[in-house]
């Protein structure tokens, strides 16, 4: 039973990515999941309930990424988190269109998106502070420099895939990660640069 | 959708600072810190509370085992999921009664040990 639920949720996310939430019918989801509509209705009584379940799973995945914060005090740890961000944002592309077309800004999932993205920005800021303290990044030359960098990194993590789609550019995990590391590279101190060359460059560049 | 526990932005920021600090100030723990893995005698003195809530578009039944001496010491176990709220509530009630069977009677938790300050 649990496998069928997962199959339905995966099929829903695939179809939502391709066609948007509004234009997908339950019949299409049932066909994609290779089950009958009756079976689908047994697991999820209506489309609203199904959408609720999809959002709930997405937020669980988002929070799972936050748990990967600073498991190890090195750059490879951040590289792993970027990989997970890529997997998340490339799998759930439909969220952006839904977010921008939402008129009801007090809808629960809208507020949860806001909460998650705010936390994501805080984590990036905090990681930069840690890297400075660990002598991997140079100290701030101007106040607010790293806050600005954290915002740029946040924009790249969230909008790199939609941007690539908009300009018809091919993207993959390597180009996504390179984009983030290129933002960070000019700020490395001698220790950070050494670690970057040893751990990140051989894999990405 | 069930409202998720939400940490205030400022508190979350402080929490992250604490995580950053741990690599500079924290030291290795002791063997006795792992007591929580094997010391489960406290589970004999727990009250069982059923928790039926909406999760993933269905009704989830969880049982909470809370220590009668310190209600902040508890574990939560997922039991089952139903699409019908009445069946979920019924299942929760049966599971709670089955799990709470104790020769000393049914144990219960009180808010008093928490010493809540209402100021």
Residues of chain B in contact with residue A64, where contact means CB-CB under 8 angstroms, are none
The string of DSSP letters for chain A reads -HHHHHHHHHHHHHHHHHH-STT--HHHHHHHHTS-HHHHHHH-SSHHHHHHHHHHHHHHHHHHHHTTTTSSSSHHHHHHHHHHHHHHHHH-THHHHHHHH-S-TTSHHHHHHHHHHHHHHHHHHHHHHHHHHTTSBPPPSSTTHHHHHHHHHHHHHHHHHHHHHHTT----HHHHHHHHHHHHGGGB-HHHHHHIIIIIHHHH-
CA distance B91 to B93: 5
**Average pLDDT estimate for A50-64:** 91
Per-residue confidence (pLDDT) for residue A1, from 0 to 100: 53
User: Is B12 within 8 Å of A122 when comparing Cβ atoms?
Assistant: yes
User: Is B23 within 8 Å of A49 when comparing Cβ atoms?
Assistant: no
Backbone angles phi, psi at A74, to 5 degrees: -135, 175
CA distance A181 to A191: 16
Distances (CA, A) of A193 to A27, A126, A149, A188, A199: 54, 20, 17, 5, 10
Q: Report the greatest alpha carbon distance in chain A.
A: 63
Does residue A123 belong to the interface with chain B, where contact is any CB pair within 8 Å?
A: yes
B99 and B75 in contact (C-beta within 8 Å)? Answer: no
Q: Is the pLDDT of residue A11 over 80?
A: yes
Q: Is the pLDDT of residue B5 over 80?
A: no
Pick the most confident of A84-98, A167-181, B6-20, B104-118: A167-181
DSSP state of B116: -
Could you tell me which of A86, A114, A95, A1 has the C-alpha nearest to residue B4? A114
Among B12, B23, B57, most A C-beta atoms within 10 A, so best to mutate, is: B57
CA distance B34 to B37: 6
Q: Is the pLDDT of residue B43 over 70?
A: yes
User: Is A70 within 8 Å of B23 when comparing Cβ atoms?
Assistant: yes
What's the complex ipTM?
Answer: 0.80
Q: Is the pLDDT of residue B40 over 90?
A: no
A11 and A53 in contact (C-beta within 8 Å)? Answer: no
Residues of chain A in contact with residue B13, where contact means CB-CB under 8 angstroms, are 122, 126
| Range from A47-61, A151-165, B94-108 carrying the lowest mean pLDDT | B94-108
Does residue A56 belong to the interface with chain B, where contact is any CB pair within 8 Å?
A: yes
Q: Is the pLDDT of residue B118 over 90?
A: no
Rg of chain A taking only CA atoms, in angstroms? 20
The more confident residue out of A173 and A203 is A173
Which residues are bridge partners to B63 per DSSP? B50, B77
Q: Which of B4, B16, B23 sits opposite A59 (nearest CB)?
A: B4
Per-residue confidence (pLDDT) for residue A103, from 0 to 100: 67
Rg of chain B taking only CA atoms, in angstroms? 19
Per-residue confidence (pLDDT) for residue A186, from 0 to 100: 95
pLDDT bracket for residue B3 (50, 70, 90): low
A192 and A137 in contact (C-beta within 8 Å)? Answer: yes
pLDDT digits (tens, 9 = 90+) for A37-54: 999 999 998 999 999 899
pLDDT digits (tens, 9 = 90+) for B44-53: 889 999 999 9
pLDDT digits (tens, 9 = 90+) for A125-154: 999 999 999 999 999 999 999 999 999 999
**CB-count exposure of residue A100 (10 Å: 0-12, 13-18, 19+):** exposed
By DSSP bridging, strand B74-82 and strand B58-67 are antiparallel
User: Is B1 within 8 Å of A52 when comparing Cβ atoms?
Assistant: yes
Pick the most confident of A11-20, A175-184, B108-117: A175-184
Q: Please list, in sequence order, all residues whose beta carbon lies within 8 angstroms of the beta carbon of residue A69, skipping any fewer than 6 positions away.
A: A81, A123, A126, A127, B16, B19
Copy the structure tokens of residue A26.
């339950």
Per-residue confidence (pLDDT) for residue A104, from 0 to 100: 65
């Amino acid at each position: 039973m649990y496998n069928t639920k997962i199959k339905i949720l995966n099929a829903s996310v695939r179809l939502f990515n391709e066609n948007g939430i509004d234009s997908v019918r339950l019949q299409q989801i049932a066909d994609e999941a290779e089950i009958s509509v009756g079976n689908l209705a047994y697991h999820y009584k209506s489309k609203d309930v199904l959408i609720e379940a999809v959002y709930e799973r997405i937020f669980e995945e988002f929070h799972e990424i936050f748990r990967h914060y600073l498991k190890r005090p090195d750059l490879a740890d951040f590289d792993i988190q970027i990989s997970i961000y890529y997997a998340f944002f490339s799998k759930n592309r439909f969220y952006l269109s839904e977010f921008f077309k939402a008129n009801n800004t007090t809808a629960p999932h809208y507020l949860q998106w806001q909460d998650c993205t705010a936390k994501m920005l805080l984590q990036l800021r905090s990681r930069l502070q840690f890297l400075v303290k660990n002598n991997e990044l140079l100290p701030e030359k101007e106040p607010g420099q790293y806050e600005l960098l954290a915002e740029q990194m946040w924009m790249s993590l969230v909008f790199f895939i939609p941007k690539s789609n908009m300009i018809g550019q091919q993207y993959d995990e390597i180009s996504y990660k390179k984009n983030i590391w290129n933002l960070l590279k000019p700020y490395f101190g001698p220790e950070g640069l050494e670690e970057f060359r040893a751990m990140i460059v051989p894999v990405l560049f | 959708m069930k409202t998720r526990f939400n940490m205030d932005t400022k508190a979350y920021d402080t929490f992250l600072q604490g995580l950053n600090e741990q690599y500079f100030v924290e030291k290795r723990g002791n063997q006795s810190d792992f007591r929580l893995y094997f010391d489960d005698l406290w589970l004999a003195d727990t009250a069982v509370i059923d928790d039926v809530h909406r999760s993933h578009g269905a009704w989830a039944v969880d049982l909470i085992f809370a220590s009668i001496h310190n209600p902040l010491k508890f574990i939560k176990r997922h039991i089952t999921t139903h699409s019908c709220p009445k069946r979920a509530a019924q299942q929760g009630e049966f599971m709670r009664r089955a799990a709470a069977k104790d020769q000393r009677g049914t144990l219960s938790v009180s808010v008093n040990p928490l010493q809540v300050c209402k100021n």
